[in-house]
Amino acid sequence: MHELPVTERILDIVLKHAATNQVSRIVSITLKVGELSDLENEWIQHYFDYLSKDTVADGAILKIEKVPIVLQCNKCSHCLEIAKDQLGKTICPNCSATKNFSIKSGREYYIKEMEAK
């Protein structure tokens, strides 16, 4: 259910941009969503469809691009992409460190672009 406030914020942002640029219709919105965000694509679209009714964004399609989890080894600075189920089990392929990693990407969510008429 944490998708609802996120979706409300996305809609607020695109509606402000649409008003500023005299947009008559928003066709699509491309989002970048990190694998660690736990945001579900279908719920974001569902809430967006509900919230955007009777606005210039009514009927807009959300294109959601997943951002992979990238860790950086704090021992040797090597960056590596991992799957969510590898968290806590990561071994640096460069120096064999098994802990002390920083998350470089995978938690973010933001609007990449908006297609409008």
pLDDT in tens, 24-80: 999 999 999 999 998 999 999 999 999 999 999 999 999 999 999 999 999 999 999
Domain interval for residue 69? 3-116
Q: Can you tell me the distance from the alpha carbon of 27 to that of 61, in angstroms, rounded to the nearest whole number?
A: 7
Look up the pTM and report it: 0.86
Specify the pLDDT at position 72: 98
Neighbours of 103 (CB within 10 A): 13
Report pLDDT digits (tens) over 89-103.
Answer: 999 999 999 999 999
Give me the CATH number covering residue 53: 3.30.2320.80
Q: What is the pLDDT of residue 2?
A: 83
Provide the CB-side half-sphere exposure for 4 (13 A, CA). Answer: 2
Longest dimension (CA), the chain: 56
Examine the pLDDT at 117 and tell me if it is beyond 80: yes
Domain count, the chain: 1
pLDDT reading at 1 higher than 70: no
Residues 6+ apart with CB under 8 A from 48: 7, 10, 11, 57, 60, 62
- Nearest to 33, CA basis, from 8, 13, 63: 63
